[in-house]
Structure 1
Amino acid sequence: MPFDVVISGGGPNGLMVACELALAGVRAVVLEQWTTPTDEQRANGMVGQVIRLFQRRGLYSRLSGSPAPPTPMPRYMFAAFPLPLHQLADNPVYTILVPQRKIEAMLAARAEELGVEIRRGHAVTGLTQKDDTVIITVDGPDGPYEMETHFLVGADGGKSTTRKLAGIGFPGVTNDRTVARAAHVTVPAEYRDAVTGGLRVPGYGVIPPFMHHRTERGLIAYAPFPDGRTLLSVSAFDLPEGDEPFSIAELQQALAHVVGVEVPLGPPTGDGPHLLRRNSGGQTRLAERYREGRVLLVGDAAHVHSAIGGPGLNLGLQDAVNLAWKLAATVQGWAPEGLLDTYETERRPAGERVTMHTQAQSVLIGPGPEVTALRTLFGELLENPAVLQYIADLIAGADIRYGSSPGSPLTGRFVPDLGPATHSGRPLLVDNTGTLAEIAAPWSDRVDVVTAPVEGATALLVRPDCYVAWASADAQPDRETLRASLIEWFGSPR
């Protein structure tokens, strides 16, 4: 009997797809080529709408260690510009500083709680599509074998085997202008600024913590994490990669090159894993399409871009949640025609916006006095509150609106906090009028009716990915538009 869904890749995006499918009652298996979770240091946290998404699913507290809801950041950065987000009436920028391996471990534990099978040491090596299934060749610890599934999800990273096997192109650009060097280090106490927590460089000034700092010769990020680790990253524009293995001494030389002052750096202390990484250039690529028949792509398999501002997990995890409920509806047979195709029409534009703004930031942090002049102009624009709000929404992904349905400003937007109601991952009709239950009754097998206070609305129809499909502020909401939205998103009634 075929699996409902096979997911190639057991990173955060693949695991999130698996968790969401399990919530919807769909049988999935995750194939991960590594036998144990990698110790490689990747993302240092998450930023944007994904924080609120995790909170809507009851997962945020598992990362934060506190039952308190997330709060927006008073300051953040864009192209090494400090953003005074506390000035905004509606600040959408949320962050959490946790290493990616902790995010991955939490999602793996959640998947196992939900009964998801995770096969480690298993890698997809081939696929053949039929009318209603995909035959997958897998290389496992005991040798190759075949699996049959109704759908295959490629969550296997920027070098995705799934994408290549499906014949999906990955156009974009490669930029080899910079070399990025990063490592966990120790810094002498006298170089730590007691007021800001930044890196005090004699004769130069203070490099603020957790912010990108640009000079005309490079970019610096100094991050003294609460757990005692200190991460230093230096991207230099005219300091090519050498033939010797990368070392902290080379990072120290790169820092001196960028700021013009020597700063002593030592090896990290405490438990690892510790980062020691040198990368040349970067790539910005977007899959030609997110779907080929019964094969779909999420996360880095669909898009790669600069890590400036930390948008990767925000983009990929929202891909995962958007795809999973539509895939579940298709597997279970109640999806309206074309629902699965809306995964690409909704999420590829989101990928385009991230690749756009990360490329724009790469230009704004570039070398040379002409870029400095451009930065002066851009900095003046940021003094306009409307521009600041626009950039904050862009960073967070809060500018995304699905569809163009008339009616409430909430329609197509991320849902306000409804408390535990969204933990289930099921579609919701929030009815605070007490008049709409009979309209939703024919969809009771897939739509739950709840009450929850919502500012500016008396009723909401909420998709499983926590976006609003329909909304009304009327005491007697329009029943026909509600019924039409139920059919549009959740198929024919029973």
Structure 2
Amino acid sequence: MTDQTDQNVVVDDEVEVLVVGGGPVGLTARALLERWGVSVLLVEKYRELSPYPRSRLVNVRSMEIMRGLELDEKVAGTSFRPEFGTIRFRETLDNPDYAKADWVGAKTPIPESPVLSAITTQDRLEPHLLGAAASPVRFGSELVDVTEESDGVVAGILDHVRGVRTHVRARYVIAADGATSTVRRLLDIGTEGPGAIANLTTVVFDADLDRWCAEHPAGVYFLAHGSLIPLYPEGGWAWIGPVPEATEDTDWQAYVTGLLDTPDDVPVNVLRVQHWEMKAFVAERFGHGRILLAGDAAHAVPVTGGLGMNAGIADVHNLCWKLAGVLRGWAAPGLLDTYEPERRPVGERTLRQAVANAQLMFQVQARRRDQLGSGAAPSEQIELPWSERYFAQIGLILGVAYDSAAVIPDGSAPPEPEDPGTDYLPTARPGHRMPHFWLGPDRSSLDTLGEWFTLLTPDPDAWAGQAAPPCPLHVEPLPAEHTDACGLGPRGAVLIRPDGHVGARWPDGPPDDHAVSEALAVITGH
């Protein structure tokens, strides 16, 4: 990266935000920013959306964000039925389960959220996100250099389709270009953590496996030599496991048939093979100046638990309203300084949890080997080394609490769940995600949120004289039966940020006529 643009550089396009990377995180950022009226250009080095079924789970928090984008029903409509929200452990495909567990929040509704998790693949999610906005997307266009100026960033873009190089000037850049991020490398931002932890192969194939799976559906079958994953409700499979030796000479059809141990009358048609490296790290910094990292560019985590993509979607949900505020003038540039202190601790915690997930999977396999080695029958079950709610990780997903200059503490103590990873205690304490409760038929407290701040109060008249400009603000009535859940008295109020986290709370009513405007000024840095 350079600090000053060459005076001879011709800028071909100007936008407010350049998004680098056309995966779920970048596409979500594009959709969110467009709803704020921000001009966006997204560039993606590949010539199309990913054809590979990478991510597996859109968790409840991400589905809440999809609900805000009016995409939740579309995503759910192309996902598996809830009964696929089970994880099954088997020796081979035709062996009985020796253990199983459910993704809580995917198989049955939970009271903590208005939505179910969606069991789907990245290549099914991305078209929905692409269609959620009209802002331009340039496929086959790779960012190759970036120069930061006093009032913006100039990015050099190599168009692989036309074979030309262009330059785009943007006020800000969101780098969502993956674990091998070019932008992170150009910024010379290092990483912390184990780094590369495994080399894996994904084989996408067609086969009729109904005789083993139809009566025992699952989102993932953990087998002795890898994981078997149903891809789409209408069919298709993927096997994920260690990279075999001499991959260039591998007969993949015979290889998969041998791994599954299926009879000869079940043909396997291999469609695609991808070799990839599983990484585990958190970036030392989440950006530099006007360039901000998100998703795998900021934190790459092992796939166990389905945490990585969802953490990235939450990154841009946190970031985009702040960018909109700065660009529209109702927030100071310093608001963007709260992005890293709010999201980097979440990235660190997510990485620790994902690594722990992988270790627990190894424990399951070790217990099974010990069990069979002691002469146990193949049909004998084992006890899983986690609680019944382990696969939910609801505490990790919904219990995120921010502590930054964009949150005004009210002196209350945080909740203390027994296990912060699996247990979630709803609270409207500043910094926490606003709890879900139903305000009416199919209308959640989370549905009061949008491209504005929300003041939720049981007594709107008591707050009617509060001035809010220039920040967008909606005042919503809170039914009296929910005041205790929010920690409010009959005249109290909570001020909720556009990302659904509580920014301020007044349990007993407005202290003066300027309480809301002063709180908004603090939160937005004015």
- Contact persistence 2:446–2:500 (CA under 8 A): no
Aligned partner of residue 341 in structure 1, secondary structure: helix
Q: Aligned partners of 2:412 and 2:212: how far apart in 1?
A: 56
**In the alignment, what sits opposite 1:462?**
496
Please state if 1:410 is matched with 2:428. Answer: yes
Which amino acid is the alignment partner of residue 382 of structure 1? S
Q: Aligned partners of 2:363 and 2:199: how far apart in 1?
A: 10
Please state if 1:6 is matched with 2:2. Answer: no
Q: How does 1:385-424 map to 2 (within 5 A)?
A: 388=389, 392-394=393-395, 397-403=397-403, 405=409, 406-407=411-412, 409-411=427-429, 412-415=431-434, 416=436, 417-418=444-445, 420-422=447-449, 424=450
**In the alignment, what sits opposite 1:110?**
132
**In the alignment, what sits opposite 1:277?**
273
- Contact persistence 2:363–2:385 (CA under 8 A): no
Q: How does 1:89-104 map to 2 (within 5 A)?
A: 90=111, 94-104=116-126
Q: RMSD between aligned alpha carbons?
A: 3.8
Please state if 1:186 is matched with 2:207. Answer: yes
Residues 323 and 224 of structure 1, relative CA distance in 2, 3 Å threshold: closer
Q: Aligned partners of 1:150 and 1:488: how far apart in 2?
A: 23
- Contact persistence 2:179–2:279 (CA under 8 A): no
Per-residue CA deviations over 1:255-289 (Å, capped at 9, x if unaligned) read 45xxxx87875335xxxxx8533536521122111
Please state if 1:297 is matched with 2:293. Answer: yes
> Which residue among 164, 189, 198 is the counterpart of 1:168?
189
1:25 deviation in Å?
A: 2.3
Residues 442 and 242 of structure 1, relative CA distance in 2, 3 Å threshold: closer
Which amino acid is the alignment partner of residue 94 of structure 1? L
Per-residue CA deviations over 1:393-449 (Å, capped at 9, x if unaligned) read 246x11211228234931322232236543x42222223312354454232542222
Aligned partner of residue 523 in structure 2, secondary structure: helix
1:182 deviation in Å?
A: 3.4
Residues 378 and 151 of structure 1, relative CA distance in 2, 3 Å threshold: farther
Which amino acid is the alignment partner of residue 394 of structure 2? D
> Which residue among 219, 224, 230 is the counterpart of 1:223?
230
> Which residue among 233, 241, 249 is the counterpart of 1:244?
249
- Contact persistence 2:20–2:176 (CA under 8 A): yes
Which is worse superposed, 430-439 or 337-346?
A: 430-439
- Contact persistence 1:241–1:280 (CA under 8 A): no
1:490 deviation in Å?
A: 3.2
Q: Aligned partners of 1:319 and 1:372: how far apart in 2?
A: 38
TM-score, normalization by structure 2: 0.74
- Contact persistence 1:168–1:287 (CA under 8 A): yes
Q: How does 1:66-77 map to 2 (within 5 A)?
A: none
Q: Aligned partners of 1:49 and 1:71: how far apart in 2?
A: 19
**In the alignment, what sits opposite 1:19?**
31
1:315 deviation in Å?
A: 0.9
Per-residue CA deviations over 1:192-238 (Å, capped at 9, x if unaligned) read 453x23xxxxxxxxxxx2134364xx443342742x2142424359x
Aligned partner of residue 521 in structure 2, secondary structure: helix
**In the alignment, what sits opposite 2:141?**
122
Please list every run of 5 or more consecutive structure 1 residues that lacks an aligned counterpart in the other structure. 198-208, 269-273
**In the alignment, what sits opposite 2:154?**
135
Q: Aligned partners of 2:299 and 2:329: how far apart in 1?
A: 29
Give percent identity, aligned residues only.
22
Which amino acid is the alignment partner of residue 230 of structure 2? A
Aligned partner of residue 425 in structure 1, secondary structure: coil
Residues 214 and 468 of structure 1, relative CA distance in 2, 3 Å threshold: farther
Which is worse superposed, 413-422 or 22-31?
A: 413-422
> Which residue among 382, 386, 389 is the counterpart of 2:387?
382
Which amino acid is the alignment partner of residue 428 of structure 2? L
Aligned partner of residue 54 in structure 2, secondary structure: coil
Q: Aligned partners of 1:188 and 1:164: how far apart in 2?
A: 44
> Which residue among 475, 479, 485 is the counterpart of 1:449?
475
1:488 deviation in Å?
A: 2.0
Please state if 1:317 is matched with 2:313. Answer: yes
Which amino acid is the alignment partner of residue 150 of structure 1? R
Residues 241 and 452 of structure 1, relative CA distance in 2, 3 Å threshold: farther
Q: Aligned partners of 1:29 and 1:399: how far apart in 2?
A: 33
- Contact persistence 1:124–1:139 (CA under 8 A): yes
Aligned partner of residue 128 in structure 1, secondary structure: strand
**In the alignment, what sits opposite 2:461?**
435
Aligned partner of residue 359 in structure 2, secondary structure: helix
Q: Aligned partners of 2:102 and 2:264: how far apart in 1?
A: 27
Q: How does 1:469-484 map to 2 (within 5 A)?
A: 469-472=503-506, 474=508, 476-479=509-512, 482-484=516-518
- Contact persistence 2:56–2:120 (CA under 8 A): yes
TM-score, normalization by structure 1: 0.79
* Bigger RCO (CA 8 Å, 6+ sep): 1
Which amino acid is the alignment partner of residue 324 of structure 1? C
Which is worse superposed, 316-325 or 438-447?
A: 438-447
1:374 deviation in Å?
A: 11
Q: Aligned partners of 1:358 and 1:278: how far apart in 2?
A: 22
* Number of equivalenced pairs: 454
Q: Aligned partners of 1:98 and 1:324: how far apart in 2?
A: 25
Please list every run of 5 or more consecutive structure 2 residues that lacks an aligned counterpart in the other structure. 1-12, 90-98, 372-380, 414-426, 437-443, 487-491
